[in-house]
Every structure is written in C-alpha cells, then in structure tokens.
Structure 1
C-alpha cells in the first residue's frame, strides 16, 4: 500500500493563487483527479492536514476545508485514531509516481483515445485575421444594425409578467407571433401567400438547407446546382449522400435548357438555386426562366430548394419575385433569414413550405434545436409589427447602393487593367474576373502584409477561371477606398 511519503503532493496539487476558484476547491478537485487517474489508489493514507498544509504552503484550515469537501463527495474516509484514506471509488491499479506528469491533472487531452472518421468533405477554409480591413463574400455592416431598438424591445419582453411562455417549451416550429408577423412580411415583400403554419424558424439559412436536405435527400439522389454554386450548400448535400450535378450559369442565371436535358436522361431529386443574386456570380435569374423551372419541376417531379440570398437589397429596379410566389403545385421549399438584413450574429432564419412538410421538418428540428430562441423571436416579431425592420432595410439599402457604386468606380478607375466586372443590380458583393496570369492566392498573402484580408473563400482560380467575389457591405466608403488602393499597390509591385 502506498504511503503519504511516496506521493509527490507538491506536484499533484498545482495551485493558482490568481484563480477565481477558492484554494481549498483547487486542492480537492486536483486530488479527485489524482484518484481518478490512479495515482492515489484505494486505501492510500493521505497526509495529515498540518503536514499537507506545510507541503502546499497554505493554511491548515484550507486543507481541512479541502478534506471536508472530499469527504462530502465520498472520495475519502476519515477513521478516528487511524487517519484519512482514499475510499474504494478509486481505480484498483497503481500509477507510478516516477512516470506521473503533474500537468496531466491540470490539462485536457489533446487527442481522443479512440478512433473516429474524419470528414474532408466538411473541411471549410476559415481564416481569421486581426487586420483592420477585410473583403467578405457579402456580409452586411453590423454597425448599421438597429441594435438600440432591438435591445429595447428585447429588454421589454424580458421584463413582462407574461414572459414565462417564452422561457418554457412551446411550438417546435418557433414563436407563433413571430411566424405570424413574418408571414405577413414575406407576403408583402415577396408576393407569397402563406400563413404561420407554412413557416418553421431556423438558426439561419444554412440550418434551413441542412434540415431540408436531411429530410428530403437520400443517399444516391441527384442534386443539381449551378456552376459555380454555394460551397456550404454543396457540402450539406454531399453529407446527406447526394450526387452533385452542375449546370452552366450565364448572365440570365442558371441554364434551364441544361436542366431539361439532365431530366430527360437522369432522375433529379432536387434543384438548388439562389435566383435573386446567384452565388457567387451575383446574376439574377430571369422571370422567363423562373416560370420554365417551375414547369419542369412539376413535369419531372424534382424539388426546388430556393435560397433567398440577398433578396432584401436591390438597387436598379424592383426585385423579381421568388419562384415560391408562383408555386401552385407545392414544389418549392423556400429558405431565408434576417442575417444579412440585420447582422450575421443574429441567427434568425426560416423555411417556407406546405404545411405537411413543415410538420415533418419540425420533427427533425426538434432533435438539434428544440424550438429556437422564443424570446428573441418575440422581439423580432414586434419589430416587424412596428415596421422597424422594414425601415432599417430601406435605410441600409441606400447605404449599400452608395457603397456598390463607389466600389464599382474604384475598380474601374484603379484595377481595370487587372480585372473586369459588371456592377450587380443588388446584393452585397461584386463578381470580378481576373487576368489568368495573376496568382490570386499570392495577391491575398501580399495584401495581408498591408492590413487587408482577402479570405480564401473569395478566390476562384482554376485552369478555366480566375475570379474573386468582393463584398462591399461590411466596409464604409473610406475603408473601401483604402482597401482598393492596397490591392492596387500589391498588384503593381509584388502580388502577381
């Protein structure tokens, strides 16, 4: 049996005097860890409180409190006239003090002790930079978000006497009031004809795509996307077991003729589109092609998963209504969010579909997110009811319109020898096509040295394509100007 002399308590218990955790709890927890790891085994006699206090250089009462905590939790037993011993809860096998590493007790394992499958499919290049300037793929400016209004409304909801219904379990489809107001908003702005029963809330568009894919796609199903397409959606479809089939995208949007030809030879389960501003090229699907796609979906029986990407921001004319507004056969599943309209961190999204699908989606959603944030949804519903979100979008649209025009002018005046582009009719990004001899990854790395971040997800460079998606929404006019001048400097010196 091990004796107290053999145990290196000075190394077993490592105290942090600046920690917010009381010293006696630090002692107790680390001794429990030593018991669990096998260093302090069943029946080991522990030092007396005075002796251990001298070893750890703490007050004896601190050790007494630590022992009391260990005793209360059942890790030790105190026997009158005999001493304090580890109980039978400890592992049977001994751990050698010579091989013992004290850091094991205050650190978490870096790797699992078991094997598991790793997915290269779900690898997503995420680069976080601390520089001041960054082009995104089309994120909004969170500085414009009506946070004061939202905070005031959210605080009001929290303080009400009837807020218990938002703090308990409720509709798995989401806050009923929010869904009712959201239905009215979508009917007014997108020409839909839905009620709250046609809506389930999500944590953004990606969750909506995920839920729809898990329910509607089986292994081996064919999903058609544009070439190019939203890489996150592609990852989700492949994770669900789908085969990805890509069709061309031109200045009128995704090719209907290519989809028709596919349908004649292959069974298609789903078509994924971002028709208002195709991701990443920003082109708008023409009204004629929208009608043709709806007819094809009815004829060949494929689902249209319509992503409401950047619908709220259009500058040249009224937006073309979504396919869901003309869907009379129940073939369209419409996903959208307020993440672009307000801020990406406010994960408020939705799926619009016939009631029977919403009911089934609720079962899937319950597994990963019981009902969403009912309190926040109530606040957002009230902002919709008061017209505050609508007013914010109208004001933000003017700001983004100005920023689109400025970035277009900067690109034309300073980078025309390196790239070509068309100013998009809406959205928060410009698609730029570059000279083939320019290495975009090298440009990105060089820009980073000059305080400008160009994430890898913006770069599209293959043997047939050299392009970059430049989001302007997150930067004001001064930041846009500075960013383009950095890009110009890099291209003229060490970036190509």
Structure 2
C-alpha cells in the first residue's frame, strides 16, 4: 500500500477547494495519465487517510465521488479498484512532438487555420483621450432611466414569464414600440412582425449572410466599406465585388454594368453616411439602386448605423421607406444612439424573411436579454430616447464644429477634410509625408487613441486617410487631442 504512486498526491488544506475534491481530482488525473491502471486496487479509506494525514471521511467522500462518476468500482469484501471498463493507459512521456514547455491551456493539441478575414482589430476603450471610429459619448446615456426600467423588469410581473424563455424574434413590447418609432422617424411601414431584435447590427448581418447568401454567390459592397460586412460575406463563401465610391456615394452605374455580367445576390450599403467617408448617397443613385434591385433581383442590405445624427437638415429617408418590392433589409441598433455596451439592434424586412432569420438566429443565440429589451421599450414609450437624441444631436453638432475648426486652424497644412453633414467622425486625409501608423503609435504613448487607417489605406494605396471621431469627447478633450497630434507632427 506504500506504492510510490500515491506519493504524487499533494493536498492543500488552505486551498478554497474542499480537500476531498482535491483528492478525487488528483486520483482522476493519475488514472487519466497512466500511473493508476484499470483494475488496480486502491488503499482502503483508513490506509489512505493515514498515508495523507487526513480524516477518513475525507477519503470516503473522495472515493464516493469517483464511484459515482464511474472512475472507480467497489467490491464488497475485496476493496476499491480503478474501474475495469476504463482503457489501459500507458504512462505518458514527452516526445519530440510535445516539448516540455507545451501548455495545453495556451495552445490546443489540434491544428486549425485562422482565416485572414477574421484578423480584425478589436477596439477597446483604454485611453483617456480618443479620436475613435465614431462612437457616442456614453456619459450622456440615460443610464438612470435604463437602470430603473431594468430593475422594474427584474422585480415585477410573472417570474416564470419574465425570467424564462421568450420569443426568438425578441421581446414583443420592444418590437411594437420600435415599429411605431421607426414608422414615425424614418417613414417605414412596419408592424411588429417585420422586426427581429438582435444583439447589434453585426449579429443581424451575420444572420443575413448565413441565411441568405450561399457559397459562390456574388455580393457587392463599396470599395471602402465596413469590415464586418466584408468578413461575413467571405465567411459565407461569397465572391465579393467592390464598387467605386465618390463624393456622391456608391457608383450605381458601375453596379449596373456588373449586374449585366454577374448574377448579384446582395448589395451592402450605408447610404445615409457612407462608411468610412460619411458622404450621403445622392437621390438619383438611391432611386437607381432600388430600380436595379427590382430589375436584377438582388437584396439590398441597408445599414443605417447613425441615422439620428444628421446636422445639415432633416435626416434623409432610408431606402427601406421607398421599397415597394420587398427587396430591402434594414438594419440598425442603439449602439450609436445610446452606447456600444447595450447590445440591442434590429433587422427590418418582410414577415416571411424575419420568420426565417429568427429560425437561423435560434441556432446561434436562443434569444436576447428580454429584460434589457423591455427596458429599452420603456425608454421608447416614455420618450426618453427621443429627448436623449435631441440633446445628443445638439452637443455632437457643437463638437463637430469645434473639432473641424481645430483641425483647420491647428493642423490645416498637414491634412484635408470635408465637414461631415452627419455622423460622428471626420474622414481625414493626412499629408503623404506623415506615417499614420507611427503617428497613432506615438499618440497612444501620450494617452491619445486614434485609428491608423490601416484597413482603409490597404484597400486604396493612394490614400493616407483615417476616421477621427469627435462625438465621444468633450470640447476640452478635443482640444487636448488635437494639441497632441500637432506636437507629434511638429517633432517628426
């Protein structure tokens, strides 16, 4: 019974894990790795307790745990044994294939390939100062009202209903409130049955690409476009074509020529404020895009990511508001309106498509956060979101004007830009002598985050552009940010 095998057991009575579980897990490990083999007899509980200097009941509980899990078997009058049905395991030795430094917690034992389209930077809020991709100022978010509404959802009503499974299309009340809101503010013609609630636009687009685009299908986006759309198209196995984008948006004449050559399945557009350039798709091109969709039968995915923030006039009506043929899928979220932390978005389309995409959604995510969705419904019902958007629009317009003035007066000789008519960022072209990657790196060292424009400039090597977001920064923060950039450029 004094087998050296059991000298490998090491129990720590100060550990948070109960001692009996430590013993059970360590015995399990010895069985897995080979020192203990199928059919081998274990010391009695008394012998093991003396050997390890623990109470006998501790050993009994450990043995009972392994008996229940099928690792051990007990024979009355004979003792406790490693279960005979387990395969015999040779004691593992490290070979040339697995070096002594191999760590399975860090590296899997099997191989896989990370496709290039999945290699996209993950933006995180780490710096005090930021000229981001165009995010809202979360300090303005109606957090108190949302917290109160969420708490109400947690505490009131039938707990079986509010804490149980719900509709895969999303909370019924949010779909009803959102339908009325979209009809009023965007001129859509919807009912709750036309809306699928999702966890942000990216999830909605994943469902669309997965459910409506087949391998080999031809799809279209702008020559510069949102990376999330392109990644989903590629993941679906589609053939991606890009159309030129100028000061009037996507070139729909070029799109028509492509339609004559290829059977286009889907076109992805951000017509209100094209991403990343912020230009609006001109009225004649909007009409032509809808006409081409009907003529050639392709789906339009309209990503209206920042509809609420248009400064020149009233926001332009979405393509979906003029869609008479059921060819447009309209996607949006509360990311830009409230905060990226609250993952509530929506897809709008014909009822049969929404029902189908809800089935696709179910194999990815059974449902969203129903309490959060109902809390957002309350924000819509009470007008909190309307008031918040009016306040935010005023502040963001002021910040846009200040930021553009700072860029003009402090950095005018080193960059060029057009004052955006909407959105939360300025599409900015830097002098070719300025290395944007090095500029962004040095800025980060000084506490300022700015995107280096890598994905944009890789798509078009003639560019040296990036997006500089202004909405999430206060006036003083914008002044500090521009000051940092000015000093870096002056000392290059």
TM above 0.5, yes or no, is: yes
In the alignment, structure 1 residue 489 sits paired with structure 2 residue 464: no
Q: Could you tell me how far apart the structure 2 residues matched to 1:118 and 1:16 are? A: 43
**Residue number among 56, 59, 67 corresponding to 2:63 in the alignment:** 67
Q: Which moved more, 1:194-203 or 1:369-378?
A: 369-378
After the TM superposition, which residues 137-148 of structure 1 pair with which residues of structure 2 at under 5 Å, given as runs? 137-148=133-144
After the TM superposition, which residues 237-252 of structure 1 pair with which residues of structure 2 at under 5 Å, given as runs? 237-252=233-248
CA distance 1:48–1:134, change in 2 (3 Å) = farther
In the alignment, structure 1 residue 343 sits paired with structure 2 residue 339: yes
Q: Could you tell me how far apart the structure 2 residues matched to 1:112 and 1:67 are? A: 31
Q: Could you tell me how far apart the structure 2 residues matched to 1:166 and 1:324 are? A: 33
Q: Is the 8 A contact 1:36 1:90 kept in 2?
A: no
Q: Which residue of 2 aligns with 1:170?
A: 166
Q: Could you tell me how far apart the structure 1 residues matched to 2:200 and 2:94 are? A: 53
Q: Which residue of 1 aligns with 2:90?
A: 94
TM-score scaled by structure 1? 0.90
Q: Is the 8 A contact 1:459 1:469 kept in 2?
A: no
Q: Which residue of 1 aligns with 2:359?
A: 363
SS in 1 for 2:456: strand
Q: Which residue of 2 aligns with 1:465?
A: 463
Q: Which residue of 2 aligns with 1:256?
A: 252
CA distance 1:37–1:276, change in 2 (3 Å) = same
SS in 1 for 2:157: coil
In the alignment, structure 1 residue 281 sits paired with structure 2 residue 268: no
In the alignment, structure 1 residue 383 sits paired with structure 2 residue 382: no
1:113 is displaced (CA, Å) by 3.2
- CA deviations on 1:216-265 (whole Å, 9 max, x unpaired) are 21222221211211111011111112222111212221112222222233
1:326 is displaced (CA, Å) by 0.6
**Residue number among 307, 323, 334 corresponding to 1:311 in the alignment:** 307
1:322 is displaced (CA, Å) by 0.3
Q: Could you tell me how far apart the structure 1 residues matched to 2:48 and 2:312 are? A: 78
CA distance 1:112–1:97, change in 2 (3 Å) = closer
Q: Which residue of 2 aligns with 1:26?
A: 22
1:97 is displaced (CA, Å) by 8.9
- CA deviations on 1:169-207 (whole Å, 9 max, x unpaired) are 332211111101100000011010110111111111011
Q: Which residue of 1 aligns with 2:14?
A: 17
TM-score scaled by structure 2? 0.90
SS in 1 for 2:221: strand
1:359 is displaced (CA, Å) by 1.7
SS in 2 for 1:371: coil
1:129 is displaced (CA, Å) by 7.2
Q: Could you tell me how far apart the structure 1 residues matched to 2:255 and 2:69 are? A: 66
After the TM superposition, which residues 35-74 of structure 1 pair with which residues of structure 2 at under 5 Å, given as runs? 35-47=31-43, 52=48, 61-74=57-70
CA distance 1:16–1:299, change in 2 (3 Å) = farther
SS in 2 for 1:347: coil
CA distance 1:193–1:39, change in 2 (3 Å) = same
SS in 2 for 1:461: helix
Stretches of structure 2 that go unaligned for 5 or more consecutive residues are none
CA distance 1:416–1:15, change in 2 (3 Å) = farther
Q: Could you tell me how far apart the structure 2 residues matched to 1:355 and 1:80 are? A: 66
Q: Could you tell me how far apart the structure 1 residues matched to 2:449 and 2:419 are? A: 22
1:272 is displaced (CA, Å) by 0.8
CA distance 1:452–1:459, change in 2 (3 Å) = farther
Q: Which residue of 2 aligns with 1:405?
A: 401
Q: Is the 8 A contact 2:34 2:88 kept in 1?
A: yes
1:340 is displaced (CA, Å) by 1.4
Q: Is the 8 A contact 1:4 1:46 kept in 2?
A: no
1:116 is displaced (CA, Å) by 3.5
**Residue number among 203, 212, 220 corresponding to 1:224 in the alignment:** 220
- CA deviations on 1:402-453 (whole Å, 9 max, x unpaired) are 2222221221122112111112112111110111121111112212221222
Stretches of structure 1 that go unaligned for 5 or more consecutive residues are none
Q: Is the 8 A contact 2:437 2:454 kept in 1?
A: no
1:80 is displaced (CA, Å) by 6.6
SS in 2 for 1:245: strand
Q: Is the 8 A contact 1:136 1:458 kept in 2?
A: no
Q: Could you tell me how far apart the structure 2 residues matched to 1:367 and 1:475 are? A: 39
Q: Could you tell me how far apart the structure 2 residues matched to 1:181 and 1:64 are? A: 60
Q: Which moved more, 1:24-33 or 1:414-423?
A: 24-33
Q: Could you tell me how far apart the structure 1 residues matched to 2:395 and 2:56 are? A: 66
1:349 is displaced (CA, Å) by 0.9
In the alignment, structure 1 residue 184 sits paired with structure 2 residue 192: no
Q: Which moved more, 1:117-126 or 1:193-202?
A: 117-126
Q: Which residue of 2 aligns with 1:297?
A: 293
CA distance 1:181–1:16, change in 2 (3 Å) = farther
Q: Could you tell me how far apart the structure 1 residues matched to 2:223 and 2:259 are? A: 17
